[in-house]
């Protein structure tokens, strides 16, 4: 009884209660520190259209069980719009480049297909809410309207720009400027073709008009969706309004990243937080908000885009922009002790492009064999590693972000490496 009385007295003692409370706080702090040690923050970086978001999609496939019903519906609508827009772009650009099209011959069957595609009002044919609402509408008009292209050219600086360190503002149109005029070219009295008719017309032009193929081979001279050929081959699928996209469709499809997205999953009892930031210049000023406490930075470089110009500034070479961006980030005070992973991405597209677009035309100091894939990859790898004035560790991987099997191997390797390094740094091993 004496013992019980003593305990009761201790528990009512203010000094005892204060010690007990402090002990609980310390315990919570220790648990929080332990959680932080067991957490990895991976930051995805790179210029626009480099493939960052595709890497994130592969991570979702590996660790989050794939894509939702809503995501599959979303991509189905976006890809259908991009399929039509891409074919319209090829027809219009062929005229500008002076390429003869078989579909320009009057009264031919191909001519009728061309007429249908050019007359088709994509935005009248889809449920915009299923495709992403205002964000989709704005992006679609920026990509495919003649006014949007003319405005980008007018605003072009012609200078590569890191973008994230400055208060850079591209000054693109806001939704309020674009949305009212979306349907200004629509004639509500004209014949509205079915999606199936347009899909058939697209595939006929793609498969039977050599001029369309010739224009496609010169697509580095203008802005065209990187997966356009894949879209055309599968147009009949996307014409079905109830079509649910496959994993491959979603990996090939592209929805512009705006702002910073955060994705969380667990790998080997380690919590991964992946931050994906939009790569176009107007998005980069938001990057600095997620630079703190980064475990590892993954920079994605599209090696196949050595002969292409930025979407947002058509006088700037995409590779030159990526070089300046990587150099700025790699040597930044924010990443003094942060290891970098460099993905040389779109290797499959590079191999095909080298046959028709000599790299020396864009990089005169290239000394390797003409149109040689291995020499070209080594050239870009050495070029980017030479920008590392901070002498930090940089791990290089050659990737095709849309290839699920190869990416599974690469991502498994780098996640294991990151986990091991994080445990060592935290003193847990």
Q: Residues annotated as binding site for Mg(2+)?
A: 53, 257
Residue 268 token pair: 């080997």
Contact yes or no for 99/215 (Cβ under 8 A):
yes
Mean pLDDT of 171-178: 39
Q: Residues annotated as binding site for GTP?
A: 49-54, 251-257, 276-280, 345-348, 401
φ/ψ region of 105 (left if φ > 0, alpha if ψ in -120 to 50, else beta) reads beta
pTM for the complete prediction? 0.81
Q: Residues annotated as binding site?
A: 49-54, 251-257, 276-280, 345-348, 401
pLDDT tens column, 199-229: 999 999 999 999 999 999 999 999 999 999 9
pLDDT tens column, 304-315: 999 999 988 888
Beta strands in 225-327 (DSSP E): 260-267, 270-277, 296-302
pLDDT at 265 over 50: yes
Q: CA 362 → CA 305, 354, 365, 393, distances in Å? A: 11, 12, 9, 29
**Over 192-241, what HEC string results?**
CCCHHHHHHHHHHHHHHCHHHHHHHHCHHHCCCCCCHHHHHHCHHHHCCC
Give pLDDT, residue 191.
Answer: 60
Burial class (CB within 10 angstroms; exposed 0-12, middle 13-18, buried 19+) of 235 = buried
pLDDT tens column, 37-82: 568 889 999 988 899 999 999 988 988 888 999 999 999 999 999 9
Alpha-carbon gap, residue 351 to 371, rounded angstroms: 8
Alpha-carbon gap, residue 117 to 199, rounded angstroms: 9
Contact yes or no for 291/168 (Cβ under 8 A):
no
pLDDT tens column, 362-379: 999 999 999 999 999 999
Least confident of 123-132, 153-162, 266-275: 153-162
pLDDT confidence bin for 5, thresholds 50/70/90: very low
- Residues labelled catalytic: 49, 54, 254, 276, 280
């Amino acid at each position: 009884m004496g013992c019980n009385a003593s305990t009761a007295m201790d528990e009512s003692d203010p000094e005892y209660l204060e010690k007990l409370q402090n002990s609980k706080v310390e315990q919570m702090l220790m648990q929080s520190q332990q959680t932080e040690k067991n957490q990895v923050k991976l930051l995805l970086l790179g210029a626009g259209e480099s493939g960052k978001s595709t890497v994130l999609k592969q991570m979702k496939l590996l660790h989050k069980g794939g894509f939702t019903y809503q995501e599959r519906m979303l991509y189905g609508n976006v890809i259908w719009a991009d399929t039509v827009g891409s074919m319209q772009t090829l027809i219009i650009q062929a005229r500008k480049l002076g390429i003869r099209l078989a579909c320009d011959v009057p009264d031919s069957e191909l001519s009728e297909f061309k007429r249908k595609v050019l007359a088709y009002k994509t935005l009248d044919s889809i449920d915009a809410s299923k495709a992403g609402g205002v964000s989709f509408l704005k992006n679609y008009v920026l990509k495919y309207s003649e006014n949007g292209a003319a405005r980008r050219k007018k605003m072009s600086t012609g200078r590569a720009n890191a973008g994230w360190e400055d208060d850079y503002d591209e000054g693109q149109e806001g939704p309020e400027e674009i949305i009212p005029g979306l349907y200004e070219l629509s004639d509500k009295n004209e014949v509205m073709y079915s999606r199936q008719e347009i899909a058939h017309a697209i595939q006929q032009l793609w498969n039977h008009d050599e001029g369309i193929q010739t224009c496609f081979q010169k697509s580095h001279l203008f802005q065209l969706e990187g997966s356009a050929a894949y879209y055309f081959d599968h147009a009949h699928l996307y014409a079905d309004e109830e079509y649910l996209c496959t994993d491959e469709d979603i990996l090939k499809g592209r929805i512009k990243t705006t702002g910073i997205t955060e994705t969380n999953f667990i790998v080997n009892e380690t919590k991964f937080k992946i931050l994906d930031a939009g790569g176009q210049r107007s998005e980069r000023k938001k990057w600095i908000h997620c630079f703190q406490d980064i475990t590892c930075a993954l920079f994605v470089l599209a090696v196949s885009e050595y002969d292409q110009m930025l979407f947002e500034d058509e006088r700037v070479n995409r590779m030159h922009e990526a070089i300046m961006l990587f150099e700025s980030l790699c040597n930044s005070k924010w990443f003094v002790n942060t290891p970098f992973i460099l993905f040389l991405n779109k290797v499959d597209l590079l191999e095909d492009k080298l046959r028709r677009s000599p790299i020396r035309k864009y990089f005169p100091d290239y000394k390797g064999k003409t149109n040689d894939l291995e020499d070209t990859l080594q050239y870009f790898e050495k070029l980017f590693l030479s920008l590392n004035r901070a002498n930090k560790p940089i791990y290089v991987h050659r990737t095709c972000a849309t290839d699920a099997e190869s990416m599974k191997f690469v991502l498994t390797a780098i996640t294991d490496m990151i986990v091991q390094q994080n445990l060592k740094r935290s003193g847990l091993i």
